Structure 1
Amino acid sequence: MLQDPSFYLVSVPAVLLYGVAKGGFGGAVAILAVPLMALLMPPAQAAAILLPILVVMDMVVIYSYRGQFDALALRLLLPGALLGLLAGYLLADAVNEAMMRLLVGFVALIFGVQTLIGWLSSLGKEHNRWSATFIGALSGFTSFSIHAGGPPFAMYLLPKRLPPLIYVGTSGLFFAVVNLIKLPAYYALGQLCTENLWYSLALMPIAPLGVLLGRRLVQLSNPPNYYKIISLFLVLLGIKLIFDGYQEFLS
C-alpha cells in the first residue's frame, strides 16, 4: 500500500487535519481522520496507523503550549479516563463501532447545539469531580476505540471558557497521557504490527506541520469566535457520526 497513490491521497489529508485539530483549531474535527482513512482500509487498521502519529503530535503540542494548562481539570478528568481506557481494552473484541459512532455523535450534536444557541449556558462553569470522572471515562473509552475522545472532553471543558491557549494546552496534556497508555494496549491486541508501523512512519513527517498550523490559527482567533467554531464542528461531526453509525448499524 505504500506504493499506492490512493494511500497518500486519503491518509495525508487525514493526518494533516488531525494535526490542525491537535494544534487547537476545531479540536473535535480530528474525529474525521479515522473515517477518512477508512475509505481505503478497515477502521481498526486506520486507528492503529494513526496512534503512533498521535503520540508525536502530542509531544509537539506539549512543547508548543508548555506551561499553559488547567491543572485542576487534568486532575479531575484523568482518573476517569484511565477507567475508560481499561474498559475499552477489556471490551475491544465486543465493541460495536456503529453503536460507538452513534453514542459519540449524539453527545457531540446535543452539546454543540446547546452551546451555539446558549441553552444551559450557566451550567458546567465550575469544576465537578463526578461529572469530570464520568466524562473522562467516556472520553477514554471512545478514544481507545475510534480515537473519538475529543467531543466528550470538549463537553466538559468548553463551559469553563478557558483562554484558547489554556484550553488547547490542557487538551494536549490529557490526550498525551491517554495515547501513551493506548500504545501497549494496542500492541497487546496485535494492532501495532510491523506493516502498520511502516505506514505510520511514512506519514509521521506531516504530524508537526499540522500541529503548528493549528497553533497559528488559534493565535489568530479571538475567544468568542474560537469557541463558536469548535461548537459548530461538534454539530457537524455529530450529524456525520450519527449518519455513519446508522448506516453501519443497518449493514
Structure 2
Amino acid sequence: MFLPSFDFFLAAVPAVVLVGLSKGGLGGALALMGVPLMALVVGPVEAAAIFLPILIMMDLVALWAWRKHNDRRTLMMILPGGIVGIALGWATSAMVSADALRVVIALATILFALRYFHQKWRKPDARDTPPAPHRPAAAGFWGMLSGYASFVAHAGGPPFQIYVMPMRLDPRAYTGASVRFFALVNAVKVVPYVALGAFDGRNLTASATLLPVAFLATMAGAALVRRMRIELFYPLMYALALAAGLKLLWDGLA
C-alpha cells in the first residue's frame, strides 16, 4: 500500500489549504497555486489526478456551506458552455498544449483586471458603472473556456470571473453560483479522468490522506467570505483575478 512521504505532505498540505480557501469563496487565484505546489513532489499529471477527488470533497463542503445562496440565472447561463468545454477538453487532450491555454487565459484575465483598476483610478470618487447584464453569447464562450481550462489544467476560475464579476452580484449569491458551477464541472470531469486512466490506488490513497485538511480549509474560506463587505469583496476578487492571470502567464511561459 502506498503511504505518502513526509516531503509529500510538506508541499501537499499548503497546496490543499490554498485550494480549500478558494473553494470556500475566496476566488480562483489561490486555487491556481495548488497543482504547481503539489507538482514539486509528484508529476504534474499525477498532481492533477490527486487533486480531483479532493476538489470534489471541497465542493461537497462548499455546497453545504453555501446551500442557501445562489444566483440561479447566472448558473443556468454559464453551465451549458462549461459542459461543452469539458467535452472539448477530453476530445483534444492529446492535441492542445496546456501551457498555450494558460497563456491565452492569462492575457485575457490580466487585461480584464487591469481595466477595472484603471477605471477605479480614473474615477475614484465616482459611482461604479451599472452592473453588466446577462449576455448569452458571452456566457457560452466564457463558460466553455472555463470548462475547458478546468479539464486540462484545473484553471477554470479566471474565465468564470471574467463573465460573472462585471454583473456585481451580492457576494453570497456570487459565491453560491460559483460553488455550484465548479461542483458540477468537477463531477462531470470524473468520467473522462477515469477513461484516461488518471486514477489508481496510489493517487486515491494520497487524496484520502488530505481530505481532513480540505474540509477545514474550505469551511475557513466560507467563514471569511460571509463576513466580508461588498466594498471589500469585489476589489479583492479583481486583485486575486490579476494574481491568477500573472500566475497562469508565468506557468505558461515557463
State TM-score, norm by structure 1: 0.93
| Partners of 1:29 and 1:234 within 8 A in 2 | no
User: How far 1:3 moved relative to its partner?
Assistant: 4.1
SS in 1 for 2:40: coil
User: Which residue identity does 2:234 align to in structure 1?
Assistant: Y
In the TM superposition, what is the alpha-carbon distance from 1:63 to its structure 2 partner? 0.8
Q: Is structure 2 residue 138 aligned with structure 1 residue 136? A: no
Q: Map 1:20-35; keep pairs closer than 5 Å.
A: 20-35=21-36
Please, which runs of 5 or more residues in structure 1 have no aligned partner? none
Distance between the aligned counterparts of 1:196 and 1:25, measured in 2? 27
Contact preservation (8 Å) 1:124, 1:156: no
Q: Distance in 1 between matches of 2:131 and 2:225?
A: 23
Displacement of 1:127 in angstroms is 0.5
The count of residues paired between Structure 1 and Structure 2 equals 246
Q: Please give the secondary structure, in 2, of the residue aligned with 1:14.
A: helix
Whole-angstrom distance in 2 between the partners of 1:17 and 1:154: 18
Q: In the alignment, residue 158 of structure 2 is paired with which amino acid?
A: P
Native 8 Å contact 2:112 2:162 kept in 1: yes
Residues 245 and 27 (structure 1), Cα distance of their counterparts in 2 relative to 1, 3 Å cut:
closer
- Per-residue deviation, 1:153: 0.4
Quick check: 1:154 aligned with 2:161? Answer: yes
* Distance in 2 between residues matched to 1:74 and 1:167, nearest whole Å: 10
Q: Aligned equivalents of 2:131 and 2:96: distance in 1? A: 30
Is 1:201 the counterpart of 2:208 in the alignment?
yes
SS in 2 for 1:205: helix
C-alpha change, 1:224 and 1:201, in structure 2 (3 Å) is same
> Is 1:177 paired with 2:178?
no
Seq. identity, %: 39
**Corresponding residue number in structure 1 for 2:119:** 118
In 2, Cα distance between equivalents of 1:197 and 1:229: 34
- Is contact 2:62–2:218 with CA below 8 Å preserved after alignment? yes
Following superposition of structure 1 onto structure 2, how do residues 159-170 of structure 1 map, counting pairs within 5 Å?
159-170=166-177
Contact 1:20–1:211 at 8 Å: present in 2 too?
yes
What is the CA–CA distance in structure 1 between the aligned matches of 2:148 and 2:60, rounded to whole Å?
22
Matches of 1:123 and 1:110, distance apart in 2: 20
Q: Which residue of structure 2 lines up, in the alignment, with residue 109 of structure 1?
A: 110
2:221 to 196, 214, 220: 214
Give the CA RMSD over aligned residues: 1.6
1:118 counterpart SS class: helix
- Taking the aligned partners of 1:50 and 1:118, their CA distance within structure 2 comes to 37
Deviation at 1:122, TM superposition (A): 4.2
